[in-house]
Structure 1
Amino acid sequence: MPAMHAALRCYALVAVLAVFPFHASAGEVMHGTIRGVLLALIVVYVLIFGLLLHNVLEAGGAVRALSAWLSGFGRAPAEQALLLSAAIGPFLEAVSGFGLAVVIVAPLYAALGFPARKAMVLALLTQSAVPWGALAIGTVINAELSGVSLRELGEYSAWLHVPLALFYVGAVVAVSEGRRSVRKHFDDMLIVSASLAFMTWAASAYVSVELAGAAAGGFAAVLLVGYWQLKARVRGHVREAGEEAVRPSLGKALWPYAILIGYIFITHFFDGVQRMATTFGVLHWPLYGVRLELLYSPGFALWLAALSACWLYRLSAAEVLACVKKTVKQVTPAAVATTGFIAMSAVMDGAGMTGALAEQAAAWTGSAFLAVSPLVGALGGWMSGSNSAANAMFSPFQRAMADQLHEPAIWYAAAQNVAASNMTMASPARIALVASTLGRPGGEGEAMRLVGPIAGAALVIIVLGVLIGRAAVGT
């Protein structure tokens, strides 16, 4: 079923269940619905201008130029996928969040000639390091609500992510080129996974949790390309970026991305600019606890990048209008699906449904709740498509369970953080996003069937990691 239809039907079902078995009033259901719609606006704002930027870059030839350049560094499909999904994708997600890496990477896979089904899964795999996405805002929320140190939570989350790094890198290779190619590219896999795991832990423990994801993704990309160049020199053949004559030049193709990342960096790390961006142009709905900072959001950075691309590529008014029309056509099903699922999540939370699920899991497991703790986090991440929302939903519950069982809160906080973030890649909102970006509305079911087992296997690894880590530490 297309995600848009599934979202509307699931929301309707939840609204009915909220009123009858859970005794919520019509006003409470409406309050949850409005809150969900307002929360969805934050995501849709990014989605609209992310798709607009993609369409402008495509019209100007930038996507073609970038794909030619990437094909020069990674000639095999697995190499291209490792660079895009395992290194560049996590970097983009770290500096922006909101699934922006999906919007940027998916069209590049299409331009490189990947089949749509592979492109969807590989684009979703860029969401493998979401604990550090959007400058680790979800991890910050978790630390505040769980009452643990941010640095300690970042470090524990990084340790849990060590086996996941190798698992996801292996998944990227297997999806892009087949399972038999894993042995062929094992050296590349080790370099990427080791650099991601080490830099994420080191930056979280000794530098800044907020910068760990960007540092790890950038470090992995540079190290991987450098390794390829070294191997090529040893063999007497230096790899060069694609020299195909394309419009525009590589420099012009990269400028909009530089503007995008530069704006996000300036507004996040220069206090004066940050204060301005979070003071002016703010839509605030105190009754619903929702705040949309128009100038601080990546959506505005995407708009600036799209505007600069129109000027750089000298697009005509007719070409710009065509890009706008294409964006509206693409964004409608994804926006409706995203809004429907987030509204469903908000109504479930307000009516006590998500709390009832978590409490029942705690009642069934008792003192063994730590084994179920990641499943609770995963439920929040899958429903909301956001690590921040999932942590806001369940971090207090996880802390309460830790106190009740006289356990260290850090393990429950880390389990919640890592599980919620990893399950966002299989969330209906993210899947609707990638299907819309690749122009495959209605293909969400296929994407769910493909990425679901990967996310499920990652969840098993997280559960085992939490249990083994807790037993090893013993405190």
Structure 2
Amino acid sequence: MLLTPARAEQRGRPAATASPQLSTGPVATGPQRSHVNAALATLPVLVTLVLLALGVRALYAALAALTTAAVLTATAFRTPLGELGDAHLRMLPTVVELAAILFGGILLSELMARTGAQARMGEWLGGACSSPGRAVLLVTLGVTPFAESLTGFGIGVIVAIPLLRRLGLPPARAAAAGLLGLVTVPWGSLAPGSLVAGELGDVGFRRLGVDSALLSAPVFLICGAAALAVGLGVRRALAAAGDLAIAVTTLWATVWAVDAYVGVPPAGVLGGLVTMAVLLLVSRLRERSGGGGEPVGRALSPYGFLVAGLLLSRAAPAAAGITEGWWTVAAGPAGWLPLTAVLAPRLLGAGEPVLAGAARAAFGRWWQVALTTVVFLALGTLLTVTGMSREIAGACASLGSSYLFLAPWIGAVGGFLAGSNTGANAMFAAGQAETARALGHSAAHLVAVQNVSAALASGAAAARVALAAQLAENAPGPASVRPGAEPVPAGAPGAGGTATRELTAAPAVVQAPADTPVDTRWVLRTVLGVHALVFLTTGVIGVLWG
């Protein structure tokens, strides 16, 4: 069985099929035909973006885009059926893997809520950071980067959103802030996506890691500031500017230093861990607080079990000489996350049976998210194997040096559609490097632009937004409302009849019912708007970088 991008992401080495796929598809015989091919190749992307902008559900938008791509495959981008079948067959382990991860993540979140573990963790964070801004930053620039860098596959969101709800953010705002915390995806799952980009772009792995770290400074700053503004409002976000500067500087300096002097894979993990430690230290020094509520060691035990299992499973297959096959699926997050969920009631000391009820609830939320993810994976595979993604990149390269400003948007399209940094880099990294060399630009710089922009945009993939909305809708808010609260302004996302906004410095700034519906269109617009600002900034840096 050949490697898929997700298989490479799990094991930390490039997909063996990526390079051949990039060279398939129709070959233009002249400039006119090349332009026509490029225009046609953009149709599936445009269909997706237009339908999502019009408020069409992500599943239907994905199906429409996949149908458009299939029609183009049968007409303008004819590809042998054998190649199409092989490509989608190689995707099967990825489908199983992601479906298992999604179900395990939703089930674990449900169990953490039903057993009260999320409440205990939220109360402890509230006691450790009585400043609302610092508490939000602790989750979005500390917990989320740490969890996502260690495990990948959106696990950072699964951990962060319930904590943000416990801190008091309404469901929609918690979903958006949680997604904005996905800022270290280039190092997600210990950086295999970056490894794929470096291999396909013929760029040194460490050089790419350092350049990606340098480019991530505006990512950390803009997304961190936006998470504060979304969660607390602009006024309180401005009041937390000092804490934002500390968090961003710590995360960026640690990630860069580890990339430069230690190695690329652990950079995101150590960056998130050091950021958490620094923010907790600042809280202890400024507030003389060391955490509140009962001890959270047992509440954290499922995450500890998951982390230990993942670290063990990374070493064991390599020592046994196992490099591919279904064992690698079971030994990764797809195996350990469901296992952790099944064992969570025992680890948490649940006093009554909760697993059966939680599993039924999780399945009802899982199937549509999983189906949407599968359709987008099929779309990304079709764009790659038919050569449509190559046509898009090639047409943009004809713009000359202006292409440097547009390069982040190319990577973003790949990340948004594939929902994976590895998948997006498999589609576009080689083309970005070739274009850079043709323009006399640094290939390492442009591949880093591709890596960072694709990674960030994968956090706004429709399937990931749907998962974030499901988690936010079902995660409970604070257990009680403190004195001094006032109603949330009407029309604010997540506002409800009992919603309140705190005026004190308590971390529970908003109280909203757990079943408040999440407007996924608002979440998607908010996250994409912030990302667009990052891509504009990255484009300017790319032009000036030389």
Confirm or deny a common fold (TM above 0.5).
yes
Which residue number in structure 2 is paired with residue 297 of structure 1? 332
Select which of 512, 518, 524 maps to 1:448. 524
User: What's the CA shift string for 1:94-129, capped at 9, x where partnerless?
Assistant: 100011111111122223331111011011012111
Structure 2 partner of 1:361: 396
SS of residue paired to 1:426:
coil
In structure 2, what is the equivalent of residue 252 of structure 1?
Answer: 298
**Aligned partners of 1:457 and 1:250: how far apart in 2?**
38
Residue 258 (structure 2) pairs with residue 203 (structure 1): yes
TM-score between both structures, scaled by the size of structure 1: 0.89
Gaps in structure 2 of 5+ consecutive residues = 1-55, 475-516
| Change in 2 beyond 3 A, CA 1:73/1:297 | same
Question: Are the counterparts in 1 of residues 418 and 424 from structure 2 also a CA contact under 8 Å?
Answer: yes
Seen in structure 2, the aligned counterparts of structure 1 residues 326 and 275 have a Cα distance that, compared at 3 Å, is farther
Query: How far 1:427 moved relative to its partner?
Result: 1.5
Residues 108 and 340 in structure 2, CA contact (< 8 A), matched pair in contact too: yes
Written as runs of structure 1 = structure 2, the 5 A alignment for 1:175-186 is 175-186=230-241
2:169 aligns to what SS in structure 1? coil
2:476 is the counterpart of 1:426? no
Whether the 8 Å CA contact 1:106–1:119 is kept in 2: the answer is yes
Matches of 1:104 and 1:178 in 2, distance apart?
A: 23
Show the counterpart of 1:386. 420
TM-score, normalised via structure 2 length: 0.77
> Which is worse superposed, 302-311 or 375-384?
302-311
Partner of 2:513: none
Q: What is the alpha-carbon distance in structure 2 between the residues aligned to residue 253 and residue 49 of structure 1? A: 17
Q: 1:418-446: CA deviations, max 9, x gaps? A: 11111112211221221232348884323
Whether 1:267 aligns to 2:313 is yes
Alpha-carbon deviation of 1:142? Answer: 1.0
For the Cα contact (< 8 Å) 2:376–2:418, is it kept in 1? yes
* Alignment partner, residue 373 of structure 1: 407
Q: Is the 8 A contact 2:206 2:259 kept in 1?
A: yes
Task: Give the Cα–Cα distance (whole angstroms) in 2 for the partners of residues 79 and 240 of structure 1.
Answer: 14
1:47 aligns with 2:102: yes
1:145 is matched with: 200
1:279–1:147 distance in 2 versus 1, CA, 3 Å: closer
Aligned equivalent of 2:7: none
Indicate whether 1:120 and 2:175 are aligned: yes
**Counterpart position of 2:157:** 102
Deviations 1:392-419 (A, max 9, x none): 1111112221332333321121111111
Residue number in structure 2 paired with 1:417: 451
Cα separation, 2, equivalents of 1:92 and 1:447: 22
Deviates more, 1:180-189 or 1:310-319: 310-319
Matched with 2:46 is none
Q: CA deviation at 1:360?
A: 1.2
The answer to whether residue 292 in structure 2 is matched with residue 239 in structure 1 is no
Aligned to 1:166, which of 175, 198, 221? Answer: 221
What is aligned with 1:286? none
Distance 1:58 1:381 in 2: 31
- CA drift of 1:463 comes to 1.0
Does structure 1 residue 333 correspond to structure 2 residue 368? yes
Which amino acid in 2 is paired with 1:359? G
Question: Residue 259 of structure 1: CA displacement?
Answer: 0.9
Q: What's the CA shift string for 1:59-82, capped at 9, x where partnerless? A: 221111111111112234322210
Q: Distance in 1 between matches of 2:349 and 2:276?
A: 31
Whole-Å Cα distance in 2 between the matches of residues 111 and 82 of structure 1? 14
Equivalence for 1:463: 539
Fraction of identical pairs, as percent: 29
On the 8 A contact 1:2/1:443 being kept in 2, the answer is no
Task: Measure, in 1, the Cα distance between the counterparts of 2:345 and 2:242.
Answer: 41
C-alpha distance in 1 between matches for 2:429 and 2:284: 45
State whether residues 72 and 239 of structure 1, in contact with CA within 8 Å, keep that contact through their aligned partners in structure 2: yes
Q: Which amino acid in 1 is paired with 2:259?
A: S
Cα deviations by residue, 1:346-367 (Å, 9 ceiling, x for unpaired):
112222222221111112x124
* SS of residue in 1 equivalent to 2:77: coil
Letter in 1 for 2:460: A
The CA deviation at 1:55 is 1.6
Residue of structure 2 in register with 1:12 after alignment: 67
Distance 1:94 1:100 in 2: 9
Q: Which residue number corresponds to residue 310 of structure 1? A: 345
**Structure 1 311/434 Cα, relative in aligned 2: closer, same or farther at 3 Å?**
same
Q: What is the identity, as a one-letter code, of the residue corresponding to 1:175?
A: V
Aligned AA for 1:399?
Answer: A
For 2:96 and 2:539, locate their aligned partners in 1 and report how far apart those are by CA, in whole Å: 33
1:200–1:212 contact (8 Å) kept in structure 2:
yes
Q: 4+ residue runs of structure 1 moved beyond 6 angstroms?
A: none
Q: Distance in 1 between matches of 2:197 and 2:323?
A: 24
**Deviations along 1:18-67, whole A, 9 cap, x unmatched?**
22333346665555555555533332221111112112222221111111
Aligned residues between the structures: 449
Runs of 5+ consecutive residues of structure 1 not aligned to the other structure: 233-237, 284-291, 471-475
Q: Is the 8 A contact 1:402 1:408 kept in 2?
A: yes
Richer in helix (by share): 1
Over 3 Å counting, the alpha-carbon distance change for 1:229 and 1:138 in structure 2 is: same
Secondary structure of the corresponding residue to residue 184 of structure 2: helix
Query: Residues 345 and 383 of structure 1 are in contact (CA less than 8 Å); yes or no, is this contact kept in structure 2?
Result: yes
Name the SS for the 1:332 alignment partner.
helix
